[in-house]
Structure 1
Amino acid sequence: MFKKAAAVLLCLGLIFGFSYGADHTAEAKTKVKTYKNCKALNKDYKGGVARSAKVKNKGGKTKYKPYVSKALYDANKKSDRDKDYIACER
């Protein structure tokens, strides 16, 4: 009897623990900073922000490698003037 009760409590603890963690990470993903302009974005990310690691820069040679983040790029898409999926590249 004790083993069944312990197993049920353990299962419930795992279920609630994972569901809490899933909600917490989903909330963290929605809080992505939107920058006013490229000068502000480049203070935090010198090379700009790329949507994925596979994108190529259309503008030529750059000095810094861009930070890769789909969520951050999507929040600052307006700053990608040449539409190469890298915002504010330098």
Structure 2
Amino acid sequence: MSTIFFISIFVSLFSLGLVVVGIPAQIVKNYKEKRSGQPLLTIVIAIGFYVSQIAFFILTNSYLPLLSFAVGLIMWSIVLIQYFLYYKKL
């Protein structure tokens, strides 16, 4: 097994852990409180990070971590939508 494949497994596991546990918890908290729990700048930085990582994985043919980062991008997009939904209610 190559080193790159081995490291990509760790990247996938940790990013999937964040995507499956951390971001949904933020989404649920936002929904219950009817407000965004993150500043807009933080959300935009996170989305930019996920987009750049997805582009990097595609360009380097590292498709294993690609799925977890794609799901993460979807989750952060939901947080962005929540920001605009609840922003006017402040």
TM-score, scaled to structure 2 = 0.33
Structure number with higher strand proportion: 1
Larger Rg: 1
